[in-house]
Amino acid sequence: MSIKIMMPALSPTMTEASIVKWTVKEGDIIQPGMIIAEIETDKAIMEFESTYEGEVYKILFPSGSGHIKVGEVIAILKEEDDTEDDLLPYIPNAVKQESNSMNHNNFDELNNNYIKNDLISNNSQENKDINRLNILIDSNQLLSDQKRIIASPLAKKIALQHNIDISKISGSGPNSRIIKDDVIRKINNKSDSTSDNIFIESCKIKEQDRLLEIENSKLNLDNANISIKNTNTLTNKSISQFIPEKNNFYEELPISGMRKTIASRLTESKRNIPHFYLTVSCNVDSLIKLREEVNISIGNMIKNNRINLENNRNNNQNIKISINDFIIKAIAKSSDLIPETKTIWVDDDKMMRFTDGIDIAVAVSIPNGLVTPIVRKANQKSILNISTEVKELAEKAKIGRLHLQDLTGGAITISNLGMYGIDQFSAIINPPHSSIISIGSIKKQPVVINDDIIICSIMNITISCDHRVIDGTIAAKFINYIKDMIENPIELLI
């Protein structure tokens, strides 16, 4: 049977994406692990690897298509024994009649009939809860999929040889596809039929519960949507009165998927997360001196071939450790001492604490937005390794080659605007993280030390915390640990 390729969730916050380009065409044979498309998510442009094997029968969204929901079918794969008649039920009527250049607007109505349940109206998409409901609706496809027999040719052949009713077998492959191992297990264990019946009955009960929940949610959403539509109408009217009629003095700009996500996520963060802020000033004279010494030592080690650069992708002979690299290490070591800083808020019922190393997200500016790739287990890495990894992640971000594993994890973000001359700022927490640390510029200032006025290099650090997870005293202890390590940086080398 044919295989449906769906829009994957390539980042933790992704709800929709655009297909930048397909790297395969209809008729091509693909294998698991093959790059088949480039997808623009809310974070970056990422490569989409196939987990299936087969022939690309139909591409439902051409290159350049945008606003495709996670879980929507974007292509159909054909297997060896599939016929045109077998594949027709998988292709929506509008796609059968349209060419491959159809745009996404023409596909919207079709997709509502093909994937979504009639219980959800088009207007409900205006509400932020629609994503949760869509997941519930898509999960109901499980029962209808039970009616189809999706099996590999080899599995069908073995079942036929042993007079096994393949429709009674539960598949363990992608999309519940029946594979060879499933048939062999059925042959070895005849009792599977009983468990299959129990599973089907269980699914029926779950379907009834889901449908009831969707009906109740629909009633709540209908009322909420009325309020939202009225609010949006008033907001748009109040803004539009200040916008002049179209002329030569301004241009309208499209909003990218990444910019929409930044707007949505940070608005949600400020609205739902109770932020509080703490600031300390650090004397970084010792850190600046240590950095200079470390960079000189690294340069000498490179000249004398006493450092291995094989794992450094850039193989850069002019490696320089930055102040930011030391700060990342200081944050990671400090967080390791305070369990609350390794914790994130999941929902009203639970929090989650990371126990295997300290992962630090580093804010990286790219031409069309901002991404936060993760430095894994920064508390366990040397300053040189942290520096190399940050540079590699930044380079991958700028060319749009970050992967999902580069963007997920951790509870702390670091954002540094010091290189832009910003003295101090309070950043917005990046969900689901529980804190973000803002680094300002280094400036010479008079400081009183032992009743003497001394000119020192001062850098301000501000931490923004989620008060649901971190209390004020905990945050104060955390930021002072960071301050102590920055002012006594030899600890960072131990």
Distances (CA, A) of 369 to 256, 257, 259, 433, 481: 9, 10, 6, 19, 32
Residue 427 structure tokens: 């950043």
Q: Cα torsion at 417, 421, 422, 423 (round to 10°)?
A: 120
H or E stretch covering 47: strand 45-49
Residue 355 CB neighbour total at 10 angstroms: 7
Q: How far apart are CA 307 and CA 299, in angstroms?
A: 9
**126 SS3 class:** helix
CA atoms within 13 A on the CB side of 414: 27
Cβ(116)–Cβ(137) below 8 Å = yes
> What are 76's strand-pairing partners?
4, 58
Residue whose structure tokens are 């749009």: 400
What are the helix and strand counts (H, E) for the chain?
Answer: 13, 18
Reported in sequence order, the residue ranges of 274-342 that DSSP labels E, i.e. its strands, are: 275-283
Q: What are phi and psi of 408, to 5 degrees?
A: -115, 145
* Residue (of 407, 372, 394, 399) closest to 20 by Cα position: 399
Q: How far apart are CA 254 and CA 273, in angstroms?
A: 29
Cβ(301)–Cβ(384) below 8 Å = no
Q: How far apart are CA 134 and CA 265, in angstroms?
A: 19
Task: Please list, residue by residue across 370-383, b when 16 or more beta carbons sit within 10 angstroms of its beta carbon and e when fewer do.
Answer: bbbbbbbebbebeb
Tell me the residue length of the chain.
494
Identify whether 467 is a catalytic site residue. Answer: yes
Cβ(289)–Cβ(486) below 8 Å = no
H or E stretch covering 262: helix 257-272
Spell out the alpha helix ranges (H) of 304-382. 323-336
Residue 440 structure tokens: 């300002």
What letter does residue 67 receive in the DSSP assignment? -
Cβ(455)–Cβ(446) below 8 Å = yes
Residue 394 structure tokens: 């930044």
Q: Which residues are catalytic?
A: 467
